[in-house]
Structure 1
């Protein structure tokens, strides 16, 4: 049995709101989604482990009881103040001894908004989740005013291909860089590549930065449009793998070529919906799906039913 997926949005009844993009507002949203719940929605089941309110910093841990790695996710003001539309730093690590000490971190990323991006969306489980900011101005497939409208990250446990993997945690984004990259917005998963840093399966200190080439991605010079359901077309969904293209074979079990898959993230054989408004949800094959925004014609969906099956 997999873990049930919950979709949280700023448009839910009783949902906390993203006020002027402040770090304190993000932290309140994360507390409600991960730990406390709101309205008629229960929390994901993470625990609050550390917090320093003086510098707007907080750290959560995923659920060991639900099969999680016990990884930590830290969120913080990159300037230690609660500024309007400030960058919220985020990192994921194997463990923490205090709010400032991260053991085996995967590399920090940053999320920021502007006045045209008042909404947020978190989709996940007690082991991992997607976080994104959402605009009410642009459509699902419009580039809008810039990359701010397209930020999305996965944080937490991936589905490892190695039995007994001691480090099945990461951040997945469209931001290239093995270390801390918080000055630029983390692009959504609309380009032909995603990036992820993972540590060795045996608990040693080795790590590898993976450049993930996605299947089926539409790379034409024009942007196709249309609605698959109205056209009578079924989506053929392909899961996205975390792999190291620099390793020729999968015989290395410490840092294997294919490390696992990104929970719930699929690329459809159909690209379109670029003039549809957010959010875009559908049901196919008995599963619920939600579409991620894209630069041109969206093609990437999150399976909003169960993960870690």
Structure 2
């Protein structure tokens, strides 16, 4: 069943703001958008599973909405202290018991919390359903462009993918640009991986039998190598005629190199689809302002800017996800 999508932005009336780049500010953005709401916008229905008191080290555990078909997976956000510009650690847990006890953990990664000034990614956008969301943040000094130019920014995914297996209880994942890594650099964000480095792993995927068996996960499309880099058309404004969903694969980005996973009963090669994420055969829109939104086949799509330079061919549906 399709999930309705809500778009939350830093420039909404009543939206929580990232001012100093403290982890508590970042956590407050997640809480307000996913679990509490702000202004005239209601939250998408996630619940706060656990959190620290404000005077303690920042910690938040958010569970997706089981009543709307969510898996009940949990996203854990934590930081060593609440100092300005301190990065925050993110990790998924299929089984969350307490702050000190979880199992079937996803790969961890870090993201920038922003900071004071025009060069920090304080301008956040969350595109979310009751079961999954994308987080994208850009700085004020990049707002008149649609590429990051190797500057500080953030992008990651957390939540349920749309599984091709009806009995899949391990749907809750995170996707980032570099797994089990503490860097928050421009080339460790999800948009870098899907636009420039798609052969690397984006996270972990756990077995269909609910065991602790896991493998690295990858993202692939119908276009084969979808990482376009065509400077002659990067500033063009083409109509988008063909979109391919992103599939979540196990063990490799290629079936030919995935070994026996094609026949696996518990870790099959293709596991499902990433909700809302698409690649187009058309490429361009580098000179637009962030965030750039385009009407494609009657629906609004968010243009995902490239991490370094060049145009884009990556889009997020802003209305409805499978």
Asked if Structure 1 and Structure 2 have the same fold, meaning a TM-score greater than 0.5 normalized by the shorter chain, the answer is yes
1:306 aligns with 2:320: yes
Residue of structure 1 equivalent to 2:51: 51
Q: For this pair of structures, how many residues does the alignment match? A: 297
Deviations 1:188-231 (A, max 9, x none): 32324161211001101110002334533313466621112xxx
Does the aligned pair in 2 maintain the 1:265–1:301 contact within 8 Å? Answer: yes
C-alpha separation in 2, matches of 1:157 and 1:211: 15
Equivalent residues in 2 for 1:1-309, closer than 5 Å = 1-53=1-53, 54-77=56-79, 80-112=80-112, 113-114=114-115, 115=117, 116=119, 117-138=121-142, 139-144=144-149, 146-149=150-153, 151-175=154-178, 177=179, 180-185=180-185, 186-189=188-191, 190-193=195-198, 195-214=202-221, 215=223, 216-220=226-230, 224-228=234-238, 233-244=239-250, 245=252, 246-247=258-259, 250-294=262-306, 295=308, 296-308=310-322
Q: CA deviation at 1:147?
A: 4.7
TM-score (norm 2): 0.87
Root-mean-square deviation (CA), in Å?
A: 1.8
The aligned counterpart of 2:255 is none
Deviations 1:69-90 (A, max 9, x none): 100011111xx21111110111
Structure 2 unaligned residues grouped into runs of 5+: 253-257
Give structure 1 regions of 4+ aligned residues with deviation exceeding 6 angstroms: none
Distance (Å, rounded) in 2 between the aligned partners of 1:281 and 1:39: 23
Query: Quick one: distance in 2 between partners of 1:188 and 1:64?
Result: 26
- After superposition, give the CA deviation of every residue in 1:24-67 in whole Å (9 maximum; x if it has no partner): 10111111101111111110100001011211101010111111
Give the deviation of 1:102 after TM superposition: 2.1
Distance in 2 separating the partners of 1:255 and 1:227: 40
Retained in 2: the 8 A contact 1:266–1:301? yes
Deviation at residue 98 of structure 1 after TM alignment: 1.0
Mark the runs of 5 or more structure 1 residues left unpaired by the alignment: none
What's the offset of the Cα at 1:235? 3.3
Distance 1:269 1:27, change over 3 A: same
Deviations 1:225-265 (A, max 9, x none): 1112xxxx233111001112224563213000001111100
Does structure 1 retain, via aligned residues, the 8 Å contact 2:234–2:312?
Answer: no
Identify if the C-alpha distance between structure 1 residues 142 and 281 changes in structure 2 by more than 3 Å, giving closer, same or farther.
Answer: closer
Where is the helix percentage greater, Structure 1 or Structure 2? 2
Tell me the distance in 2 between the aligned counterparts of 1:183 and 1:100. Answer: 24
What is the TM-score when the length of structure 1 is the normalising length? 0.90
What SS does the aligned partner of 2:174 have?
strand
What is the rounded CA distance, in whole Å, between the counterparts of 1:241 and 1:205 in structure 2?
22
TM-superposed CA distance for 1:100, in Å, is 2.8
Once residues 59 and 276 of structure 1 are traced to their aligned partners in structure 2, the CA distance between those partners, rounded to angstroms, is 36
